[in-house]
Amino acid sequence: MRKVLTLCLAIQDGRLLLGMKKRGFGARWWNGFGGKIEEGETIEEAAKRETQEECGIVIRSMEGVGIHEFRFDSKPEEILEVHVFRVDTFEGEPIETEEMRPQWFVFAEIPYDTMWPDDRYWIPLFLAGKKFRTKFLFGAGDVILEKEILEVENLTMDG
C-alpha cells in the first residue's frame, strides 16, 4: 500500500525553517511541514494547506525538488511516497500550533541529531538547489537499514 504525503521546507536569508513535531508520527523530531493529501486535493494544494495548518505561513511560490520512498521493516507492505517542495515565497510569520513549534536555523546549525536520520543525506542536496529521488528502509528505532540517493536533472512530481 502506497501513501502519498507532502513535505515543505522554506528557505529565507540563508536559513531553513523547521518545526519541532509535538505529537503523532515523527513527534520529538525537527522536520519540515506537510502531511496527508485529502480527498480531491492535488499534491501541491495539500502541501500548501498542511504548511499553513502546521506553522501559519501562506505559501506563494514553491518548487517540487524531491521524492522520497520510505519503508519500515515493521510494515513491509506500506510505502510512504513523500513529495518534497522548496518554499521560496510565503506570507506571514511562522507561529506555533498544536502540532508544530517552528524555528529558523542557519544552514551550518541544522540540528541533524534531532531530525529523522535520513535528513542528513538529502538536505545538503536540497540546500545546494539539487533535485533528488531517495529510498530509505528503516528498522527498529528508526535506524536506516538501506538507502539510495539519486540526484536527478528532471523530476516528475506526479509519482
- Selection from 84, 83, 89, 34 nearest residue 61 by Cα: 89
pLDDT band, very low/low/confident/very high, at 154 (cuts 50, 70, 90): confident
Task: Let me know: does 130 contact 38? Beta carbons within 8 Å.
Answer: no
C-alpha grid cell, residue 61: 511560490
Task: Let me know: does 129 contact 153? Beta carbons within 8 Å.
Answer: no
DSSP state at residue 73: T
- The CATH architecture one would assign to domain 2-152 is Alpha-Beta Complex (3.90)
Cα–Cα distances (Å) from 148 to 7, 70, 84, 137, in that order, read: 19, 11, 16, 9
pLDDT band, very low/low/confident/very high, at 159 (cuts 50, 70, 90): very low
| Position 26 pLDDT exceeds 90 | no
For the stretch 74-123, pLDDT in tens is 999 999 999 999 999 999 999 999 999 999 999 999 999 999 999 999 99
H/E segment holding residue 127: helix 119-127
Using the CB atoms, write b or e for 118-151: b if 16+ within 10 Å.
Answer: bbebbbebbeeeebbbbbbbbeeeeeeeeeeeee
DSSP state at residue 36: B
| Position 158 pLDDT exceeds 70 | no
